[in-house]
Structure 1
Amino acid sequence: MHLYDVVLFLHIATLLAAIGLGTTLHHAEWSTRTATTVGELRAVTRVYRRGNLFPIAILLLFGEGAWLVHLSKKHGETFRFGDAWIWTAIVALVILMVTGGAILGREASSYAKLLAATPDGPIPPEVRAATFKSLTWATSHMNTFLAIAVVFNMVIKPAGAASAILVLVIGIVIGVLIGLAGARSRSVATT
């Protein structure tokens, strides 16, 4: 076993942890449909605050990835930051960090404050609207499918920038469309 193998394992373990966190958050997001009261929404969405772990995962993924590029020369591979599948992954990590903080983190904080200020009982229209904000749903799903696109590029390792970018764009579009579809339906259960 080489150091490269250990770092690759850590990189994959970090990715799996981030995917698990994202899956948990999406489950909560889609579970809001069955909530009939503000109290139920609070219980279902309490996990949103765990989104603050994503910046740590992103920094770990970048650090471990950079370390793998460095170690690749000793491991018999020659990966470079100029490889399309590597620099597009870095761009994707920057997008994830920015949209996670500027949009998702801000919206989750605002939503938590709204729920805390809303009395228990039936879900009022303003809370229903905040639960199904198109920007939030589109961004959260975009981020997930962008991350999946990065994993696809890492497995395939496309040589050309156009192919690597196209994969990311396809992931973004799929994620946005799924998120918008989820937000549009606005089907919180009624009592």
Structure 2
Amino acid sequence: MHLYDVVLFLHILTLLAAIGLGSTLHHAEWATRTATTVGELRTTTAVYRRGNLFPIVIILLFAEGAWLLHLSKEQDETFHWDDGWVWTAIAALVILMISGGAVLGPNATRYLKLLAATPDGPITSEVRAATFRPFIRATSHMNTALAVAVAFNMITKPSGTAPPIVVLVVGMLLGTLVGLAGARARSAAMA
């Protein structure tokens, strides 16, 4: 066993943690569809607080990836910072950090404060609107699909610049469309 293999395992383990966290948050998003009271929404979305773990996960993914690049010199194949699948992964991590820190995190904080300030009872129109904001749902699902696209690039290691970029763009577009469709469906279900 080589150190490279251990770091690769840690990198994959961190990715699995990110997938688990993202899945939990998406489950809560989709579960809001069946809520009929503010109290149910509070219970369902309390997990949104865990979104604050994403910056740690993103930093770990970057650090482990950088370590793997360094250790790749010991392997049969050396990877480089300027490989398309490497620098696009870094760009994706920056996008994830910015969209999470500037959009999703602050929105989750405002949303949870709104729920805390709203009396128990039927879901108000203000809470309904805050629950199903299409831009937030689109950004959330875009981030997940972007992370999946990065994983695809990491596994397939496409050569050149265009293929890894196309994979990321397609992933982001598909995630955005899923998020928008889900926001519309959830909003309609609650109306």
Task: Return the TM-score normalized by structure 1.
Answer: 0.98
Cα distance in 1 for residues equivalent to 2:190 and 2:58: 35
CA contact (8 A) 1:128 1:188 kept: no
Name the counterpart of 2:132.
132
Q: Which moved more, 1:17-26 or 1:71-80?
A: 71-80
Cα distance in 1 for residues equivalent to 2:14 and 2:182: 28
Q: What SS does the aligned partner of 1:112 have?
A: helix
Cα distance in 1 for residues equivalent to 2:188 and 2:64: 41
Cα distance in 1 for residues equivalent to 2:21 and 2:114: 23
* Residue 39 in structure 1 maps to residue 39 in structure 2: yes
Cα shift at 1:108: 0.1
Name the counterpart of 1:173.
173
Q: Which runs of 5+ in 2 are unaligned?
A: none
Q: Residue type of the partner of 1:60?
A: L
Q: How many residues align?
A: 190
Cα shift at 1:188: 4.7
CA contact (8 A) 1:85 1:153 kept: yes
Cα distance in 2 for residues equivalent to 1:51 and 1:77: 36
Cα distance in 2 for residues equivalent to 1:165 and 1:189: 38
Q: Residue type of the partner of 1:126?
A: E
Cα shift at 1:183: 1.0
For residues 12-42 of structure 1, the C-alpha deviation after alignment (integer angstroms, 9 at most, x for no partner) is: 0000000000000000000000100000000
Q: Residue type of the partner of 1:83?
A: D
Cα shift at 1:184: 1.4
Name the counterpart of 1:62.
62
For residues 83-140 of structure 1, the C-alpha deviation after alignment (integer angstroms, 9 at most, x for no partner) is: 0000000000000000001000010001001001100000000100000001110000
Moved runs in structure 1, 4+ residues, more than 6 A? none
Q: What SS does the aligned partner of 1:73 have?
A: helix
Q: Residue type of the partner of 1:99?
A: S
Name the counterpart of 1:158.
158
CA contact (8 A) 1:36 1:188 kept: no
Name the counterpart of 2:28.
28
1:1-191 to 2 correspondences below 5 Å = 1-185=1-185, 186-189=187-190
Cα distance in 1 for residues equivalent to 2:98 and 2:48: 17
Q: Residue type of the partner of 1:134?
A: P
Cα distance in 1 for residues equivalent to 2:167 and 2:18: 20
For residues 44-87 of structure 1, the C-alpha deviation after alignment (integer angstroms, 9 at most, x for no partner) is: 00000000000000000000000000000012221000000000
Q: Residue type of the partner of 1:161?
A: T
Task: Return the TM-score normalized by structure 2.
Answer: 0.98
Pairwise CA RMSD: 0.9
Cα distance in 2 for residues equivalent to 1:71 and 1:143: 28
Q: Give the percent of matched residue pairs that are identical in Structure 1 and Structure 2.
A: 71
